[in-house]
Amino acid sequence: MALLEVRNLTKRFGGLTAVDRLDFEVNDGEILGMIGPNGAGKTTVFNLISGIYPPDEGEIRLNGQNLLGLRPHLITEQGIGRTFQTIRLFRNLTVMENVMAGRHCRTRAGWLAAILQPQSQQLEEQRIREEAERHLRFMKLYEQRAELAKNLPYGDQRRLEIARALAIDPQLLVLDEPAAGLNEQETNELMQLISQVRGSGITIFLIEHDMKVVMGISDRIIVLDNGKKIAEGTPAEVRGNPRVVEAYLGKEE
């Protein structure tokens, strides 16, 4: 059984079929890349997995558990962490607070505990901080922890979003164009970080336009065009696939 199973996934927006009977799996421990021309439906797939809107047809299962109908926060709790194509950080919160937010679904203190501050709540708060610091150090953002998220340089903001998603302790990390807008050095660092994340036991599913990144770190790749899967395989297989080439070149007209 794969970690994430997607069967017959379909989503229509009015007359436009954004995702068309999509079938794929994400295997435990792998890095799966998803590529395709703009408008192919890639981010829509991510939004369907996150539960932001419901599919018209199809199934999504995590560890065999059906995710359909669950609100996004419950899907996150099941173990899926994600980043967004346009960065959606909590801009007026500090770097530290952004990452601490990821710990919300893994902790429990309510309003009464907040006011009374019993031992258990204080311990929980301390652990939240420690966990957040650990993820910040991993993403090399510890020095900037008191900085407001909106003041960070672009590359750091992208890394912060990943740190925040990691704080959820996900089984599956879903990254939407993590390398967008990064320069060459930042891109290389990102690729290293993603490998390290996989090394720590987290499965990764990413959308990316930067071919160097996708071909470089993915174990497998699926290719979308007009909402349909047109190819699947290892980077080498996909690169040579004429249908894939046509999908990209055809669109350049």
CA 100-46-225 angle, to 5 degrees, is 150
With binding defined as CB under 8 A, does residue 151 bind another protein? yes
d(C-alpha 113, C-alpha 125), whole Å = 11
Among 25, 56, 97, 186, binds another protein (CB under 8 A): 97
Backbone φ, ψ for residue 62 (5° rounding): -110, 120
Nearest residue to 207 (alpha-carbon basis) of 98, 86, 90: 86
- Please list, in sequence order, all residues whose beta carbon lies within 8 angstroms of the beta carbon of residue 151, skipping any fewer than 6 positions away: none
Question: How many amino acids of this chain bind another protein (CB under 8 A)?
Answer: 41
Q: Single out the residue of 15, 64, 110, 199 in contact with another protein (rule: CB under 8 A).
A: 110
Pick 174 or 217: Cβ nearer another protein = 174
Residue 72 binding another protein, by CB under 8 A: yes
Residue with tokens 């009374």: 116
Of 2, 25, 59, nearest to 232 by C-alpha is: 25
Which range, of 1-9, 28-36, 89-97, 205-213, touches another protein by CB under 8 A?
89-97
**93 scored as a contact of another protein (CB under 8 A):** yes
Q: Does 73 bind another protein (CB under 8 A)?
A: yes
The answer to whether residue 102 forms part of the interface with another protein (CB under 8 A) is: yes
Q: Of 16, 52, 123, 211, which one interacts with another protein (CB under 8 A)? A: 52
Q: Which stretch binds another protein (CB under 8 A): 79-87, 136-144, 187-195, 226-234?
A: 79-87
| Count of C-beta atoms within a 10 Å radius of residue 204 | 23
